Amino acid sequence: MEQVFSYIISLGASVMMPIIFTIIGLCIGMKFGKALLSGLYVGVGFVGLGIVTALLTKNFSDPLTMMSQIYHLKLKVFDMGWPAAASVAYSTAVGALIIPICLGVNFLMLITKTTRTVNIDLWNYWHFAFIGAVAYFCMGKSLAWGYFAAIVCYIITLVMADLTADKFQKYYHLDGISIPQPFCQSFLPFTLAIDWLLDKIPGFNKLDIDAEGLKKKFGVLGEPLVLGVIVGALIGLVAHMSVKKILFLGITMGAVMELIPRITKLFIDGLMPISDKTKEVVAKRFHGKKIHIGMSPALVIGHPTALVCTLLLIPTYLILAVILPGNQFLPLASLAGLFYLFPIMLPYTKGNVLKSYIVGVVALLVGLWFVTDMAPDFTMAANSVFKATQDPATSVPKGFFAGSMDFASSLIGWVIYKLTCYVKVVGPVILVVLVIVMMLYNRHQILKDEKVAAAAIDAEEKAGGNPSAPIE
């Protein structure tokens, strides 16, 4: 078995994932040509990620080293971004089977009424695979512990997607949609706590900023390309580089910020046909039952408040990274992922810019410590994958540890990682108990809603109405 997994891993994500996705497509009833094309898009996407990550690591490792030496900074965790995290996730024995295993868990939860969400956001399954991959390497290449961490993360995320679905749907006017992405969901505890505290301040709710108006004022500065150029040039300037090098770093960082979303589209193009087919299969199996379709938070990251808060957080994040005691992580590639803080947050802050910004600052501040804490194990995982696959996306610059805001700074991910890998016996027991409690609570809510819906239908039937007619 070990030899089989070693061979699969050696293929690298760019070869392995097209094969896996093609097989998945065929299993759910897609035509071979369409399934193959979906898989190839995913493979090409991983090749693109490798190129972009190599561009980042090759050109910014020296300037960051010089910055650290000049200003005596202890920023030894290099921001590899989500491309490296995703490559590590899918280039391991855990990642190889994470999608079919999690889909199986999702199906079992649907039939046991412990979730209403059908998670067809297949691309973001790398979050579950990532935390599973880190646990896999931490626990001596144990598949059991790797899948344990991944499945725990998956179940928690599905339940949280259900619990936030109503508010999400009402705020964004997206009926039937939930967001089973653990990075987004991990900011809910921060949101609830800080929103409650801010409401205790008299008159704070009346303080807000016109997000739409401010969005227009940002103009060209709101473009990821321009932001990347500015950040890259500033790093070169601070590192005392030549004018030529400063300009080059600016263009390079701009390219990274612009290319990552474009490469992401390749994954979406590949995965959407599979997601649509999965949705069709589920609809036939659970006909007539209330089901949430789990989609990517990318659906709503264009919201004016999300854009404004992201643009305000970029300089804040960089300043925090430099001055925060104990932090060793300087965000670079992860800046493009700041938009994903807000999809679940905004329905609870009601789109208040000041509230959302404050929640974001606190969450990112704590997240910097999470990334720094996980960096040695992330590096071990990345080095192991690079040794097996030679994937440039997983190549850690010499003298640095590997880090990424995208999921490494997640509260859910970090808690699962620490309890699984470093709190022996007690930690996994806590996670199991937490998962069971959350599932039972969610089942209680689902059964309660079904009882109310059934009572409403009975009342309508007794009144002589048509139960199938829409309620005005």
Q: Which residue has better confidence, 17 or 131?
A: 131
In the prediction, which pLDDT does 248 show?
94
| 471 confidence band (pLDDT: 50, 70, 90) | very low
Q: CA nearest 407: which of 348, 346, 334?
A: 334
In the prediction, which pLDDT does 356 show?
93
Rounded to 5, what percent of the chain is helix, strand, coil? 75, 5, 20
Residue 213 has pLDDT above 80, yes or no: no
- E-strand ranges in 205-339 read 292-294, 329-330
| 143 confidence band (pLDDT: 50, 70, 90) | very high
| 5 confidence band (pLDDT: 50, 70, 90) | low
In terms of residues, how long is the chain?
Answer: 472
* pLDDT tens readout for residues 48-79: 877 887 887 788 888 888 887 888 888 899 99
- E-strand ranges in 279-375 read 292-294, 329-330
Q: CA nearest 54: which of 80, 16, 26?
A: 80
What is the residue whose two structure tokens read 């992922």?
337
CA distances from 264 to 16, 45, 123 (A): 18, 7, 9
* pLDDT tens readout for residues 391-447: 888 889 888 999 999 888 999 999 999 999 999 899 999 999 999 999 999 999 999
In the prediction, which pLDDT does 168 show?
93
In the prediction, which pLDDT does 340 show?
86
Residue 357 has pLDDT above 50, yes or no: yes
Tokens found for residue 99: 């999608």
The three-class DSSP label of residue 74 is coil
Q: Kindly report whether the global pTM for this prediction surpasses the value 0.85.
A: no
Q: Within the chain, how many helices (H) and strands (E) appear?
A: 17, 6
Residue 164 has pLDDT above 60, yes or no: yes
In the prediction, which pLDDT does 7 show?
67
Chain-centre distance for alpha carbon 25: 23
The answer to whether the Cα torsion of 384, 67, 340, 219 is positive or negative is negative
What is the arithmetic mean of pLDDT over 345-364? Answer: 93
* pLDDT tens readout for residues 83-111: 888 888 988 888 888 888 999 999 999 99
DSSP β-bridge partners for residue 292: 117
Q: CA nearest 331: which of 60, 51, 48?
A: 60
DSSP β-bridge partners for residue 402: 78
Residue 366 has pLDDT above 50, yes or no: yes
Q: Which residue has better confidence, 318 or 280?
A: 318
CA distances from 11 to 5, 36, 93, 100, 147 (A): 10, 17, 11, 19, 21
In the prediction, which pLDDT does 210 show?
67
* pLDDT tens readout for residues 222-232: 677 888 898 88
Tokens found for residue 263: 């490469």
In the prediction, which pLDDT does 467 show?
52
Task: Supply the mean pLDDT for the chain.
Answer: 86
Helix ranges, 141-298 (H): 143-172, 182-185, 188-199, 211-218, 224-238, 243-285
The answer to whether the Cα torsion of 418, 419, 423, 425 is positive or negative is negative
Using DSSP bridges, classify how beta strands 177-178 and 117-119 pair: parallel, antiparallel or unpaired.
unpaired
Distance CA 380, CA 204 (A): 46
Q: Which residue has better confidence, 240 or 457?
A: 240
What is the arithmetic mean of pLDDT over 11-23? Answer: 79
CB atoms within 10 A of CB 71: 11
CA atoms within 13 Å, Cβ hemisphere of 314: 23
Q: What does the domain layout of the chain look like in residue ranges?
A: 2-455
Tell me the percentage of the chain whose pLDDT exceeds 90.
Answer: 43
Q: Which residue has better confidence, 32 or 24?
A: 32
